[in-house]
Amino acid sequence: MSKPQSAEWHERRRQIMAAALPVFAEKGFKGATNRDIAEAAHIAPGLIYHYFANKEELFTAILDEFLPLDRVSLPLETMTNVPPQQLLPLLLQGLNVIFQEPRFFLVMRILVAETMHTPEAGQRFNAIFKRLLDPFAAYLRAQIAAGRLRAGDPLLMAQMFLSSVAIFFLRRIIGQDPTLQGYDPDAMAHFVTDAFLRAFAPENNSSP
């Protein structure tokens, strides 16, 4: 169990996890059979249990491995002096990169689906969202203090901004609707950023 294992062991373990990920994403935890997973990994079903105690451990190991919260974060705390006009596009680019990664996309599918049934998955989901939300809210608070944004609840602002963007990403997770696919990420980012900046521009910088 807790014995240290060789590098090959971890490597093989990761291979199985990587092969199982799309299976879980496509069929869900209950729908993915061990035979499905074994076939995807080109191994015999029994071998799974050489590397994982059971299906559930494999499942959570996948989430732990391919949903690294570290990746879902920008060094916002060090960027207080970057004005929103520059930072918001950077933020969106960062998100775009993260979501572009195919595995992250698959993990999100799993997480969303499982969240509906198991509270634990919901916690992971919230954790990842907060990971993004809190630093961003802190940044916005600093901007408000610096007079670069209008006064207001930064947490609400952050939430609104991220959620208005989230849908664009979520749609890629969910089924594809042709009418809503026509927008390229950059255009969306520009549009949303503009709107946000206008909405929360400083109160009234009118001279005389």
Partner DNA sequence: TATGAATGAGGGTTCATTCAT
Partner DNA sequence: GATGAATGAACCCTCATTCAT
Which residue, 114, 134, 135, 138, is CA-closest to 124? 114
Rule CB under 7 A: say whether 130 interacts with DNA.
no
Options 44, 174, 180, 199; binder of DNA; rule CB under 7 A: 44
Contact status, residue 71 vs residue 22, Cβ threshold 8 Å: no
Interaction partner, residue 60 (DNA, a copy of itself, none; CB < 5-8 Å by kind): none
Q: Can you give the binding site for a copy of itself, defined by CB under 8 A?
A: 25-28, 30-31, 109-110, 112-117, 119, 121-123, 125-126, 129-130, 133, 152-153, 155-157, 159-168, 173-177, 179-180, 183, 188, 191-192, 194-196, 198-201
Contacts of 105 (CB under 8 A, 6+ apart): 99, 172, 173
> How near is the Cβ of 27 to DNA at its closest, in Å?
9
> How near is the Cβ of 157 to DNA at its closest, in Å?
44
Residues 54-73 that bind DNA (CB under 7 A): 54-56
Give the span between the Cα atoms of 116 and 121, in whole angstroms: 8
∠ CA 62-176-129, rounded to 5°: 45
Give the span between the Cα atoms of 7 and 50, in whole angstroms: 15
> How near is the Cβ of 47 to DNA at its closest, in Å?
4
How many residues touch DNA under the rule CB under 7 A: the total is 22
> How near is the Cβ of 35 to a copy of itself at its closest, in Å?
11
Judged by beta carbon, residue 94 or residue 122, the one nearer a copy of itself is 122
> How near is the Cβ of 34 to DNA at its closest, in Å?
3
Give the span between the Cα atoms of 202 and 101, in whole angstroms: 36
Judged by beta carbon, residue 50 or residue 117, the one nearer DNA is 50
Q: How many CA atoms lie less than 13 Å away from 87 in the CB half-sphere?
A: 23
Burial of 185 (0-12, 13-18, 19+ CB in 10 A): middle
Binding site for DNA (CB under 7 A): 6, 8-9, 12, 30, 32-35, 43-51, 53-56
